[in-house]
Structure formats: structure tokens, C-alpha cells
Amino acid sequence: MIKKEWVDNGFINEPVGKEVNLKSEIRKLCEEKQAVIMAHYYTEGVIQDIADFVGDSLALAQKAAKTKARIIVMCGVHFMGETAKILCPDKKVLVPDLNATCSLAESCPAEDFARFVHEHPGYTVISYVNTTAATKAVTDVVVTSSNARQIVESFPKDEKIIFGPDRNLGSYINSITGRDMLLWDGACHVHERFSAGKILELKKAFPEAKVLAHPECKDTVLKVADVIGSTAALLKYAAQSETTAFIVVTESGILHEMQKTCPDKKFIPVPPEGNACGCNECNYMRLITLEKLYNTLKYEWPEITVPQEVAEKAVRPIHSMLDISEKLGL
């Protein structure tokens, strides 16, 4: 039975008895209920370890579109659950804590974005995947950081493009493609907290290390990076490079997969501006815990729903992204 207090909380806070072995019970529940656990690289390591599949937003969407499972438990933030639900309307999609939103998605309220689009007729609208379903509904093509460059370049050079919501990613794509896309003024609270000064300090302490940065960072940060790319691209670079130490300028959850893939290499997290040490974490991703995952599977709640009229519009730009990515072999 779903209790009102759980609904009010957005997650199930029923205590899990000490005698419950969470990891084995979670796997048992998955089997019993034909559920698949998908986790983003930015979640806690313990969540990534129990998941059936770990990836970035592009890989998670591609996997969700093909899964045969009855239930998808999306361990990530709300828009990732929405994307899965939009792609798989007949499946039950669960996110262990509905409070796991995304600062970037919230920096682009759908009504304001729709007004902006309306004020610029003749523009093609490209939206980063970190948006709500309602914002995707006023979009022509969705992109992730793994395919943004290629998708933008798939349009003619003189195409008039609106790019939202990440001004840092948009301006980076403008700089490497020579485009002049009109940018929405949004940003991710985690990537905004990195500073070039801190990275340069770490560079002094670890002169052999290469700086790997995510394009959601400010351009002052990207200027001191050796490699700029999505989580998947940074992972691939670290695995293939002969370098053995890396300063990692993105959400620190990615270090788990990096360290797993390259156990003999050193990965150094960059603390947020103003902190002497530590990691730069997304507090929303960290809301996903093993206890909540267990309760979510047990009660099949909280469930992601997307109003049908929104889903019908939002599915088109997501499919456009998946189609273009497939054509380009991404």
C-alpha cells in the first residue's frame, strides 16, 4: 500500500530492516518483477554496481528503447525517467526519488522556452537532453553531450538554430563548429562550480596528469583542459590514452567507472570553487540510495508519468536524435 507520506515525500521512507540484504533482495525483486535497473555514471558507485546497465543519457535512452523488461528503474534524475517513459509508454518506469530533479532542466521552464521559440520564427530548436518533457515538446531535435556536435553539424551551415538550455555547452559547440546558435541562458549547478584556478593548482601538484573536462563547464575552465568531452568520451579517452593520471572536471560519480575500467590509473577529482578538497557532487543524483531502490522495486513506486499530449510531442525530437545517432554510428 502506498502511504500518503510517501507521496508527499516523493520517495518511500519505510525503514528497511537490518536483516534485509539489500543487494541480494534488489536482484531477487528484479528477477521476480522482470525489472531492469539502469544507472547514470553520476550516481553513487554502489548504485552503478547493482545496475544492469550503466551509461550516459544517450546510452540510457538507446537501451531503454530496446529493453524487453516490464519495469525500468531509472537511477538518475527525473528527466532520464521521463525520456525512458516517453520511449516506452507501455512500460512502468520508476525513479527511486522524485525529488531528484536537474538544475539544468529547471533553468529552462517550458513556458518561457516556448515563448522564446515563438519569438524567433524560422529557427530550428535543438535541446540538450537535460530538459523536462514539456521543454522537449517544443523542440525539433534533442541532443546529448555525446552527439551534440555531430547533430548540429548535420544541419546546413546557414541553418538558424536555437540551442537550449546549457549556455556553456552551446557556446562550446558554437566555438568548435563555427556556428552562431542562439543560446538559452541555462547552466548546470555542478559544472558551474568548477574554477580554472583550482584546476591549475592541481596541475601543479600533478604535472603528469591530463585535464579531462565536460563541455557543461564554463569556457574559462575549458581553456585549461587537455580533453573536452561527454562522460562516455572522457571514459574512452582515459582507457585508450597512455597517460596514467587524470584531473577529472565533471560530476565525481564518473570516477567510479573510470577507476573500474582503468584500475592502474589515477583519477583526481576537482573540488568545487571555494573548497580546499573533496568532490563536486550533484546533490540530486545522490538522492538515489540502495534503500530507496529496494523500496521502489518492492512497491513499484514512485512511477514516472508524462501527460499523453506532452509525450506525443516530446517523442519526436527524441526519435530524431536516436535516428541521427544511429545513422552516424554514435
Note the residues at the interface with ligand CIZ (CB under 6 A).
Answer: 40, 56-57, 129-130, 144-145, 214, 230-231
CB nearer ligand CIZ, residue 229 or residue 294: 229
CB nearer ligand CIZ, residue 147 or residue 295: 147
**Strand stretches in the chain, DSSP E:** 35-40, 53-55, 71-75, 92-94, 124-128, 141-143, 161-164, 182-183, 210-213, 227-228, 245-249, 266-269
124 and 87 Cβ atoms separated by less than 8 Å:
no
> Alpha-carbon distance 61 to 134, whole Å?
17
CB nearer ligand CIZ, residue 12 or residue 100: 100
Q: Which residues have C-beta within 8 Å of that of residue 299, sequence separation ≥ 6?
A: 2, 12
Determine whether 308 is exposed, middle or buried from the number of CB atoms within 10 Å of its CB (0-12, 13-18, 19+). exposed
CB 230 → ligand CIZ: shortest distance, Å?
Answer: 3
**How many C-beta neighbours within 10 Å does residue 149 have?**
18
Sheet holding 227-228, edge to edge: 227-228, 210-213, 245-249, 266-269
CB nearer ligand CIZ, residue 146 or residue 295: 146
CB 64 → ligand CIZ: shortest distance, Å?
Answer: 13
CB 276 → ligand CIZ: shortest distance, Å?
Answer: 26
CB 231 → ligand CIZ: shortest distance, Å?
Answer: 3
CB nearer ligand CIZ, residue 139 or residue 144: 144
CB 13 → ligand CIZ: shortest distance, Å?
Answer: 27
CB 155 → ligand CIZ: shortest distance, Å?
Answer: 20
Q: Which residue has the cell 536516436?
A: 322
CB nearer ligand CIZ, residue 105 or residue 196: 105
CB 76 → ligand CIZ: shortest distance, Å?
Answer: 8
CB nearer ligand CIZ, residue 43 or residue 295: 43
CB 12 → ligand CIZ: shortest distance, Å?
Answer: 26
> Alpha-carbon distance 124 to 163, whole Å?
9
> Alpha-carbon distance 298 to 322, whole Å?
32
CB nearer ligand CIZ, residue 130 or residue 168: 130
Length of the chain: 330
CB 170 → ligand CIZ: shortest distance, Å?
Answer: 14
**How many C-beta neighbours within 10 Å does residue 121 have?**
7
User: Residue 262 carries which DSSP code?
Assistant: -
What's the start-to-end Cα distance of the chain, in Å? Answer: 43
CB nearer ligand CIZ, residue 44 or residue 297: 44
State how beta strands 124-128 and 92-94 pair. Answer: unpaired
Determine whether 232 is exposed, middle or buried from the number of CB atoms within 10 Å of its CB (0-12, 13-18, 19+). buried
